[in-house]
C-alpha cells in the first residue's frame, strides 16, 4: 500500500510538470487553433533566461516574474512576426507545422549557442518534504500543484469573466465574425501567444527547480508527455490540461512500476499510445468540447 501511495505521489509530481507545459499548449490552441510544436523549446529558452537573471543576482521569484514578462513580449512578437505571415491553419497546416518545427530547431540551438550545452545548476526553491504519515510529499510538488491551481483560477477568471477573455474565445471560435464585431483579431492572437509563453516560462522554471539541473535536452521528451496530457484533457480546456497531466503522470509511473515489461524506456511509448487512442476514440478529450463540422 505504501508503495502505491509513494508511486501515486511521484506520479502526481511528474504529472504536475506535464500539466504546466500542457497548459501553455492549450492556451495557444484556444486562442489560435494551432498546435505549437515549439512550445517546449520556447519554455526552455524562458527557463534559461530565468537562470541568467538569477546568475545576475535577482532572487528566484523575481527572476521568474521578470522572465515571464519578457516571455510574454517574446511570444506576442513571434505570433506577429513569424506565425501570422505564414497563413492560417485551416488552409495551410503543413506550413504551420514546418514553421513551428523551424522554431523548435532554432530555439533549441539558440539555447545551446548562448549558454552552451553543459548542464547548469538551477537553484531548488524548496528542499523540504511534507510528512503525511503514510507517505511523504516534497514541498516542491505541493507548490507546483498550488501554482497550477492558481493558474487555472486566473485563467478561468480571465477567459470567462472578462471582456478580453470573451474576445479571445470569440477569435478562436470564428475570427472573421470577430472582425465584424470590432475585435482586433491580430492583437488577440498576439495576446494568446504571449500568455502561453508566460505560462511556459513559469512551468519551465518550476520544472528546472525540481530537477536542479538545466540543459538543452530538457524539454524535448517533456513535450510529448505534455501533448499526451493536453490530448487526454482536451486541447481547448485548461482544466483538462491539468487533470490530463496528472493522470498521465500517475498512469505512466504506475505502469512503469507495476508492469515490469514496460520499464523506463517504454514509458514514452505508453504516452504515445495514449495520444493515439484518445484521438481515435474521443478526440475532444475528457473536458474538451466536441467540434461540430457542418458540411
Partner 1 sequence: MTRLLDAADVTGGYGPVQVLFGLDLVVDEGEVVVVLGANGAGKTTTLRALCGMIPAKGTVTFAGESIIGKKPDDIVRRGVAHVPQGRGTFADLTVEENLRAGAYVRKDDEIPADIDRWYTTFPRLAERRDQAAGSMSGGEQQMLAIARALMSRPHLLLLDEPSLGLAPLITRELFTQLADLNRETGMTMLVVEQNANLALDIADRGYVLEAGAIVTSGTAAELKSDEAVRKAYLGY
Partner 2 sequence: MTATSPSSGTTRRASVAPPSGVFSNPRRLVVRVVATVVIGAILIYLPQYYPAFRVGQFNTVICFAIAALGLNLLTGYNGQISVGHGAFFGVGAYTTAILVADHGWPHFATLAAAGVIAFVLGVLVGIPALRIRGLYLALVTLALATVFPQIIKRFSDVTGGAQGMRVPKFRAPDWTGLKDDQWKYYVLLTCAVVAFVLVRNVVRSRVGRALIATRDNETAAAVLGVNLAFYKVVTFGLSAMLAGMAGSLSVFNDPFVNADKYGINLSIFLLVAVVVGGAATIFGPAFGAFFIVFLPDWLPKSYPQLSPVLFGAALILLMMVAPGGFLGGVHQLTAWAKRRLRSSSGDPPAAAASPGPTSGTTGPGDELA
Interacting residues with partner 1 (CB under 8 A):
163, 166-167, 169-170, 172-174, 176-185, 289, 292
Provide, rounded to whole angstroms, the least separation between the CB of residue 244 and partner 1. 20
**Cβ distance 64 to 209 under 8 Å?**
no
Q: Tell me whether residue 64 is exposed, middle or buried, using C-beta atoms within 10 angstroms of its C-beta: 0 to 12, 13 to 18, 19 or more.
A: buried
The CA distance from 241 to 237, in Å, is 6
Q: Is 107 in the site for partner 2 (CB under 8 A)?
A: yes
Q: Is 294 in the site for partner 2 (CB under 8 A)?
A: no
Q: Is 95 in the site for partner 2 (CB under 8 A)?
A: yes
Provide, rounded to whole angstroms, the least separation between the CB of residue 31 and partner 1. 13
* Angle in degrees, CA 97, 100, 104, rounded to 5: 130
In Å, the largest CA–CA distance within the chain is 59
**Which member of 82, 152, 170, 286 binds partner 2 (CB under 8 A)?**
82
Instruction: Spell out the residues 6+ positions from residue 225 whose beta carbon is closer than 8 angstroms to its own.
Output: 18, 21, 245, 248, 249, 252, 268, 271
Which partner, partner 1, partner 2, none, binds residue 119 by CB below 5 to 8 Å per kind? none
Which partner, partner 2, partner 1, none, binds residue 165 by CB below 5 to 8 Å per kind? none
Place of cell 514541498: 139
Other C-beta atoms lying within 10 Å of the C-beta of residue 80: 16
Provide, rounded to whole angstroms, the least separation between the CB of residue 170 and partner 1. 5
Return the half-sphere exposure (C-beta side, CA atoms, 13 A cut-off) of residue 112.
11
Q: Is 108 in the site for partner 2 (CB under 8 A)?
A: yes
Provide, rounded to whole angstroms, the least separation between the CB of residue 284 and partner 1. 12
Q: Which range in 46-54, 110-118, 135-143, 159-167 contacts partner 2 by CB under 8 A?
A: 110-118
Residues that bind partner 2 (CB under 8 A): 34-35, 37, 82, 85-87, 89, 91-99, 101-110, 112-113, 117, 220-221, 224, 227-228, 231, 263, 265-266, 268-269, 271-272, 275-276, 279-280, 283, 295
Amino acid at each position: 500500500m505504501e508503495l502505491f501511495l509513494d508511486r501515486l505521489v511521484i506520479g502526481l509530481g511528474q504529472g504536475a510538470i506535464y500539466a504546466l507545459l500542457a497548459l501553455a499548449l492549450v492556451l495557444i490552441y484556444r486562442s489560435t487553433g494551432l498546435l505549437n510544436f515549439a512550445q517546449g523549446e520556447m519554455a526552455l529558452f524562458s527557463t534559461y533566461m530565468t537562470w541568467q537573471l538569477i546568475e545576475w543576482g535577482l532572487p528566484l521569484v523575481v527572476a521568474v516574474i521578470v522572465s515571464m514578462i519578457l516571455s510574454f513580449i517574446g511570444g506576442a512578437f513571434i505570433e506577429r512576426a513569424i506565425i501570422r505571415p505564414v497563413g492560417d491553419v485551416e488552409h495551410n497546416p503543413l506550413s504551420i507545422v514546418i514553421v513551428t518545427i523551424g522554431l523548435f530547431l532554432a530555439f533549441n540551438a539558440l539555447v545551446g549557442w548562448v549558454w552552451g550545452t553543459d548542464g547548469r545548476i538551477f537553484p531548488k526553491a524548496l528542499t523540504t518534504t511534507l510528512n503525511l504519515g503514510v507517505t511523504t510529499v516534497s514541498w516542491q510538488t505541493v507548490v507546483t500543484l498550488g501554482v497550477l491551481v492558481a493558474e487555472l483560477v486566473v485563467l478561468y477568471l480571465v477567459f470567462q469573466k472578462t471582456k478580453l477573455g470573451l474576445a479571445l474565445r470569440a477569435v478562436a471560435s470564428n475570427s472573421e465574425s470577430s472582425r465584424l464585431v470590432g475585435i482586433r483579431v491580430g492583437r488577440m492572437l498576439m495576446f494568446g501567444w504571449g500568455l502561453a509563453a508566460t505560462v511556459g516560462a513559469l512551468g519551465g522554471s518550476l520544472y528546472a527547480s525540481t530537477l536542479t539541473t538545466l540543459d538543452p535536452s530538457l524539454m524535448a521528451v517533456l513535450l510529448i508527455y505534455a501533448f499526451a496530457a493536453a490530448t487526454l484533457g482536451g486541447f481547448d480546456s485548461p482544466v483538462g490540461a491539468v487533470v490530463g497531466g496528472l493522470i498521465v503522470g500517475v498512469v505512466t509511473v504506475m505502469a512503469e512500476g507495476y508492469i515490469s515489461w514496460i520499464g523506463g524506456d517504454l514509458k514514452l511509448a505508453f504516452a504515445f499510445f495514449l495520444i493515439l487512442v484518445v484521438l481515435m476514440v474521443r478526440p475532444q478529450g475528457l473536458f474538451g468540447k466536441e467540434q461540430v463540422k457542418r458540411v
